[in-house]
Amino acid sequence: MLVTAYLAFVGLLASCLGLELSRCRAKPPGRACSNPSFLRFQLDFYQVYFLALAADWLQAPYLYKLYQHYYFLEGQIAILYVCGLASTVLFGLVASSLVDWLGRKNSCVLFSLTYSLCCLTKLSQDYFVLLVGRALGGLSTALLFSAFEAWYIHEHVERHDFPTEWIPATFARAAFWNHVLAVVAGVAAEAVASWIGLGPVAPFVAAIPLLALAGALALRNWGENYDRQRAFSRTCAGGLRCLLSDRRVLLLGTIQALFESVIFIFVFLWTPVLDPHGAPLGIVFSSFMAASLLGSSLYRIATSKRYHLQPMHLLSLAVLIVVFSLFMLTFSTSPGQESPVESFIAFLLIELACGLYFPSMSFLRRKVIPETEQAGVLNWFRVPLHLLACLGLLVLHDSDRKTGTRNMFSICSAVMVMALLAVVGLFTVVRHDAELRVPSPTEEPYAPEL
């Protein structure tokens, strides 16, 4: 596994680099935004946001390994993971209201503080302290995916009065560098875990200075902004009305809930599947992120004017790849017949599918669900399905680790078949819907190349 992981990482990285270079060469020259005020504002945002993302990714490869290092049983580790997900979901319900009330800048600083405390709890071997750390991590994750984007959009439009057409370019660039940061973070986590001498806790310690710097830069360079709060009940009621009035919303939400619940279980299971075979966890994680970056690059190429495939086609392909990969895993994790290389390939295919899925889902969700109702619609799907995923993880992961792992992949396969049926249903409904097609290059509005 050691050699396989490094070879896969190098190969995937070379493939990503080749695709990006070819895409850049094929891209017609565009008008670059040269507004110095905008570029300075964008840089102020990126400095803080990228530090926060880097700290988040740095902790991912060794979380399960750390709990194993503290001699917790797999059922106990599952409870810790479930606690983290449940807190993310529950805090996510109120994150928007909290951010609007507290202020977006203050919320970003609060993220730095709570995530630093979360990292510090990893130094303790006390189970209750680790549970508190997972709850803090859930709050921090909810803030990471709400406060930063809300702060940027408000400043962009309200304070600086820049054109709204520039916003997608900023976040497209952030999404690309988010993948790059994830790849680098995996390598960095492997290095600090091996060299510093602290073992699996080292990446969590290394994340604290990044979080502190992010908070300090936000305090120094960012202005504060607030927004009018919308009652949680009104948000959910609006989401329910939207869901019941449009079959496309119902199917799209079902696909998202099923797909992302399976991805959560994958996040839990990849370490116990590969670690017993000597896999370098940081390099494996970087390989996963490189595969996801490759998928994103393939999405951009597939939807370009040369191929002009539609996001609906790529969403279908992503779900199909995950179904195939999970069936592979039900055989490669059979007790007594484990094949770690085959499991690793299946995991890489799942990450490749994620690289196709997330931009496809983002495009379709933006077209189908009104922006004001997205939070309410997603609450109706994400909360119950994620909680069901938590319950399944606790109940099905029995005392026999190997049998429980295979059972989980079997259940995930069945769930993804349901997602595939929902994709077929959505495809039937929208196949003649011009609104859900990527506009041809001659119809695309101007967006600056940043």
129 half-sphere exposure, CB direction, 13 A CA radius: 11
Please give the biggest Cα pair distance in the chain.
Answer: 63
Alpha carbons 59 and 119: distance in angstroms, whole number: 8
Tell me the pLDDT tens digit for each residue of 175-212: 889 999 999 999 999 999 988 878 899 999 999 999 99
- pLDDT-derived band at 93 (thresholds 50, 70, 90) equals confident
Of 102-106, 110-114, 224-228, which range is least confident? 224-228
**For residues 82 and 434, which has the higher predicted lDDT (pLDDT)?**
82
Does the structure show a pLDDT above 50 at 77?
A: yes
Name the nearest CA neighbour of 427 among 257, 310, 294: 310
pLDDT reported for residue 132: 95
**For residues 368 and 436, which has the higher predicted lDDT (pLDDT)?**
368
pLDDT reported for residue 111: 95
Of 7-11, 88-92, 233-237, 321-325, which range is least confident? 233-237
DSSP 158: I
pLDDT reported for residue 225: 84
**For residues 446 and 194, which has the higher predicted lDDT (pLDDT)?**
194
Residues 6 or more apart in contact with residue 160 via CB below 8 angstroms? 37, 38, 41
Tell me the pLDDT tens digit for each residue of 112-133: 999 999 999 999 999 999 999 9
Mean pLDDT over the full length of the chain: 85
Residues 6 or more apart in contact with residue 127 via CB below 8 angstroms? 72, 76
- The highest-confidence range among 48-62, 138-152, 384-398, by mean pLDDT, is 48-62
Mean pLDDT over residues 12-31, rounded? 76
pLDDT reported for residue 45: 94
Class of domain 231-431: mainly alpha
- pLDDT-derived band at 445 (thresholds 50, 70, 90) equals very low
Alpha carbons 71 and 270: distance in angstroms, whole number: 18
Q: Answer yes or no: are the C-beta atoms of 190 and 275 closer than 8 Å.
A: no
Mean pLDDT over residues 16-27, rounded? 78
- Termini Cα distance of the chain: 40
Residue 137, Cβ density class (10 Å: 0-12 exposed, 13-18 middle, ≥19 buried): buried
Amino acid code (one letter) for 13: L
Q: Answer yes or no: are the C-beta atoms of 269 and 406 closer than 8 Å.
A: no
- pLDDT-derived band at 229 (thresholds 50, 70, 90) equals low
Residue 9 tokens, joined: 């990482």
Alpha carbons 155 and 109: distance in angstroms, whole number: 17
Tell me the CA distances in angstroms from 355 to 126, 295, 352, 362, one per residue in order.
Answer: 37, 4, 5, 12
CATH number among 1.10.510.10, 2.60.15.10, 1.20.1250.20, 3.40.50.2020, domain 40-224 = 1.20.1250.20
Does the structure show a pLDDT above 60 at 28?
A: no
Of 158-162, 164-168, 232-236, which range is least confident? 232-236
Of 247-261, 339-353, 425-439, which range is least confident? 425-439
Does the structure show a pLDDT above 50 at 450?
A: no
Would you state the torsion angle of the CA atoms of residues 157, 161, 167, 173, taken in this order, to the nearest 10 degrees? -120
List the chain domain ranges: 40-224, 231-431
Mean pLDDT over residues 205-234, rounded? 85
**For residues 365 and 330, which has the higher predicted lDDT (pLDDT)?**
330
Tell me the pLDDT tens digit for each residue of 247-287: 888 888 888 888 988 998 898 889 999 998 889 999 999 99
Mean pLDDT over residues 55-61, rounded? 94
**For residues 86 and 57, which has the higher predicted lDDT (pLDDT)?**
57
Are 40-224 and 231-431 in the same CATH fold?
A: yes
